A and B are shown apart, each in its own frame.
Chain A
């Protein structure tokens, strides 16, 4: 009977169902897009350079001095590569130094972060050249496009790197510029020079050490778990080492993602409240319209509790219908867009570029949000029906019956 009651005023039922379905679609779509975007954003942000996890000297994060190194780095990298959930790992040397280019008298010098990279194992996205090519072997350098402009250097030019070695001596190396990169992050492009890890180790006196082993996990979302697993499995090695996930390495990225997520939660909550009120309105209308009928039901012996249960079942059907429509549409739309993607338009492209995102977004169906929203809407609709249903307790049968006479 509850199901049939739904269809007394079809338009109102469909409007209410549409409200529930829209709320589900909106929240699931927004979260799915956000989830896809966040994953991409994290992948991009971590993929530029840092990786998902880094093995470092325990003091390096707070005190990034050249002497805070990881010993026996190649063996550590090999051990890391054998662990599950690890897609790639590469050695890094890191230091600050002066970089000079140009012939005597026309020489230009700028400060830069010097990164020792192994071209065979390196996964950082900056290795994609904007001009020239990435370093192929010792004696070569690969620099940010901004730094190249500042130095007025082109592929084939000689660069001199002058810094402080691990133990305090002079670190000096001359390299040939192989190419430049554009990461989309001007700061990085202006002040980064990559050279072959062997050159770095020799110039900065690392021996068999490294400043970090950068690691890519199979999934950025699993970074923390991978870091913990590595810490547990590889702890007790010859040298002290700390495994830090991107959440630890880039706390500003975590804050940004959390801020956006809370904004989304707030909008979702507002939408749920709005839909709940519209459902409540629909039920208040239904109870008013059916006053005489409820009076008759009470007269023939149906208890107010039984009438209330009938209304709650009507609410349940309505929410189940709304959930089915909402989740169905969400799955269909997100499923289609997850392969073809969608564009936010020209005006957003600059913002997306700032976060190193592509101009097309690819939502990934968020099952947790879909199930959560479905449950939330069922509960919200039940609560919405509760208030008008409670009015039945005060219903005066005689007055209710008179309404129809």
Chain B
């Protein structure tokens, strides 16, 4: 098994929809090692979210090559990309994006349902994940009955329940206060350290950056600074 979970070579992403082409990424070379928590930082428009989307197969680069867990994304069809996201990548979004008509435990179960896991096993694993993340008391509540922090923690549970090789989180703390952010980051650290899940976050939030072992600063679509630390 390769030590690299993510490998990007010469990634460019140009949005040519408007009259003036927008260069969101300009030849980015970027790697993430297994078990690493990397934080992509930078001002708005720096390209951090675009890079995250390209790594997650949600967006295709204009040029360059992306590999996730040894799979070259450029050669995959839309349905193969869906399959890769379903089985290897967990997503945490800024707006939580839980399914409003499902309870917390059903939201966590849902992704396993897509994988074709049987109902009994789904429920057992979903409950176990919520318990592990300290969320067992809110399993039967719907998103509308949960606070923002609780919703984001359920979103993390949904993202990790399938034991993905990579967790991508785009501005996960943007809608949370500092105390809730701290709880969320502790949860992510637990997922990263105890369960060995590789994490890449895109954030403005210094707290998130502090928790990450590695901080990659982008500016104008290029990597400006790449720095490792032992974390907060």
Name A's B-contacting residues (CB within 8 A): 1, 4-5, 7-8, 292-293, 296-304, 306, 397-398, 401, 404-405
With most chain A CB atoms within 10 A of its CB, the pick from B82, B83, B158 is: B82
Closest to B111 in A: A300
Closest to B170 in A: A401
* B91 touching A300, Cβ below 8 Å: yes
* A302 touching B114, Cβ below 8 Å: yes
Contact of A4 among B53, B86, B101, B170 (CB under 8 A): B101
Q: Known pairs A304-B78, A397-B59. 5 more at Cβ < 8 A?
A: A7-B101, A292-B97, A296-B91, A297-B99, A405-B174
The 8 listed contacts between A and B (C-beta, < 8 Å) are: A8-B100, A296-B97, A299-B56, A299-B85, A299-B91, A300-B85, A405-B94, A405-B174
How many inter-chain contacts with C-beta < 8 Å in the A-B complex? 63
Interface string of B76-109 (1 = CB under 8 A from A): 0011001111110001011101011110000000
Residues of B near A293 (CB, < 8 A) are: 97, 99-100
Q: Which of B175-192 contact A (CB under 8 A)?
A: none
Name B's A-contacting residues (CB within 8 A): 53, 56, 58-59, 78-79, 82-87, 91, 93-95, 97, 99-102, 110-111, 114, 158, 170-171, 174
Residues of A near B85 (CB, < 8 A) are: 299-301
- Give the CA-CA distance A303 to B93 in the complex, in Å: 19
Closest to A303 in B: B82
Residues of B near A4 (CB, < 8 A) are: 101-102
* B97 touching A8, Cβ below 8 Å: no
* A398 touching B58, Cβ below 8 Å: yes
Distance between B200 CB and nearest chain A CB, rounded to angstroms: 15
* A1 touching B101, Cβ below 8 Å: yes
* B79 touching A1, Cβ below 8 Å: no
* B82 touching A401, Cβ below 8 Å: no
Residues of A near B58 (CB, < 8 A) are: 299, 397-398, 401
* A301 touching B97, Cβ below 8 Å: no
With most chain B CB atoms within 10 A of its CB, the pick from A1, A5, A300, A306 is: A300
Secondary structure call for the A interface? helix
Distance between B93 CB and nearest chain A CB, rounded to angstroms: 6
Distance between A18 CB and nearest chain B CB, rounded to angstroms: 22
* A404 touching B95, Cβ below 8 Å: yes
Distance between B80 CB and nearest chain A CB, rounded to angstroms: 10
Closest to A397 in B: B58
- Give the CA-CA distance A405 to B83 in the complex, in Å: 25
* A398 touching B53, Cβ below 8 Å: yes
* B59 touching A398, Cβ below 8 Å: yes
* A405 touching B95, Cβ below 8 Å: yes
- Give the CA-CA distance A335 to B170 in the complex, in Å: 61
Residues of A near B114 (CB, < 8 A) are: 300-302, 306
Residues of A near B100 (CB, < 8 A) are: 8, 293
- Give the CA-CA distance A4 to B84 in the complex, in Å: 28
* A1 touching B99, Cβ below 8 Å: yes
Distance between A393 CB and nearest chain B CB, rounded to angstroms: 9
- Give the CA-CA distance A8 to B79 in the complex, in Å: 29
- Give the CA-CA distance A405 to B170 in the complex, in Å: 11
* B59 touching A298, Cβ below 8 Å: no
- In order of increasing CB-CB distance, the 7 nearest A-B pairs are A301-B86, A4-B101, A296-B97, A404-B95, A301-B85, A397-B58, A303-B82
